Structure 1
Amino acid sequence: MSFIVVIPARAASTRLPDKPLLDIAGKPMVVRTAEQAALSGASRVVVATDDARIELAVRQYGFEALLTRADHATGTDRLAEVAGQLALEPDAIVVNVQGDEPLIDPALIDQVAQLLAVQPDAAIATCATPILDASSLFNPNIVKVVCTRAQRALYFSRAPVPWARDALADGERRLAPGIPALHHIGLYAYRVDFLKQFSSMPAGPLETYESLEQLRALENGYSIAVHITGAHPAAGVDTAEDLARVRQNFINRL
């Protein structure tokens, strides 16, 4: 199985300006992410950015970088442009790794790519892990996914789904025993032909209200395969606290 990794990296961030360029143990965050992605089975790792500073930083460390348009609404739209720039075949598999994931597990990248490769009727493959505490279930910054028995996504939400009616009837926030609550991990594999279709689809009401672009695929009738992993991956970098935690992780490795 052959696949490539594309890492969308935008400089704009409300909480952490120039986030992809922030230093982690002597290297920019996006470079650390690319290094992790390169440990997967990907045949190619490409950083896609709208900022020439990020492009230069990535190239200085020997990784491939492409400049893309600055007006893309989502990272998936940016991937579609990259697929066009690289003239990838329609059935080529592209894995989207976020640029703020310097601790991403290379094995998880391989597993998501493999899942899409063996399920030709799925438009997208992604992954999730069981939720183990009530605070995560009720945290709107943690995206939840509900799946079929065949591990196809039924819905993604920032709300606590599935809702355990009886266990939560008294208003207490708790995790009902055995509830199949899953924390969605924002790692995606696509085929190039679907990427091109996706970028031309208008955002629907579910995507708009939840602010979750994967709902665009479900709203248009496409299937998303979900790999369930028991390992809880390290969180990405969204806040200054996250950045400090990741920096310490790298320092501990030295």
Structure 2
Amino acid sequence: MNDQTIAIIPARYASTRFPGKPLADMLGKPMIQRVYERVAGVVGRAVVATDDDRIRKAVEAFGGEVVMTSPLCSSGTERCREAFDKIGRGETIILNLQGDEPFIQAEQIGLLISAFDKPETDIATLAEAFAPDTAYRKLNNPNSPKIVTDHQGYALYFSRSVI
């Protein structure tokens, strides 16, 4: 476990595609709890960042750490930045791990953290290539973000559209 790593999990209730998603029941636990439990076992510290009192109460009910952020945050990244500014303890690696990824694996989080073993790494993200025979309907799914990288794996841009 890396004590210099904090995972901030942005979670908002007012999602445009699935309002209340962080509180969706997954076999008796809210989705945000499933994510938190996966993350908390891998990093030094996990914190849920939210602007919603219902999510705050749910996180506190399962014993998780939570910080309230402004409802004016325009993205999860902005929410993470505000949260870290409020509760950061000098951690050197800040992970923005999405509140709707209840199946994220410890190995994936570890892989992301290991990207920071290289001193030149300032930012990193997990990505997986689509198989050559991927159906167009899967590629066209706006719920699946796409990334274009250069030959060294550096992100050029992200899109929810087919690129």
Residue type matched to 2:72 in 1?
Answer: D
Q: Distance in 2 between matches of 1:158 and 1:65?
A: 29
Q: Distance in 2 between matches of 1:36 and 1:46?
A: 12
Counterpart among 154, 171, 182 of residue 156 in structure 2: 154
**Gapped runs of 5+ residues in structure 2?**
none
Matched residue of 2:78: which SS?
A: helix
Residue type matched to 1:20 in 2?
Answer: P
Higher Cα radius of gyration: 1
- 1:29-68 counterparts in 2 under 5 A? 29-40=31-42, 42-68=43-69
Q: Distance in 1 between matches of 2:47 and 2:104?
A: 16
Identical pairs, percent: 42
Aligned to 2:98: 98
TM-score with structure 1 setting the length: 0.57
- 1:98-247 counterparts in 2 under 5 A? 98-115=98-115, 117-132=116-131, 133-135=134-136, 136-161=138-163
CA shift in 2, pair 1:159/1:14, >3 Å: closer
Q: Distance in 2 between matches of 1:17 and 1:141?
A: 14
Matched residue of 1:129: which SS?
A: coil
TM-score with structure 2 setting the length: 0.86
CA RMSD, 1 decimal: 1.9
Matched residue of 1:7: which SS?
A: strand
Q: Aligned-pair distance for 1:18?
A: 1.7
Residue type matched to 1:112 in 2?
Answer: L
**Gapped runs of 5+ residues in structure 1?**
162-254
- Whether 1:27 aligns to 2:26 is no
Q: Distance in 1 between matches of 2:22 and 2:160?
A: 25
Q: Which 4+ residue blocks in structure 1 deviate beyond 4 angstroms?
A: none
Q: Aligned-pair distance for 1:153?
A: 1.5
Q: State the number of aligned residues.
A: 158
Q: Aligned-pair distance for 1:159?
A: 4.1
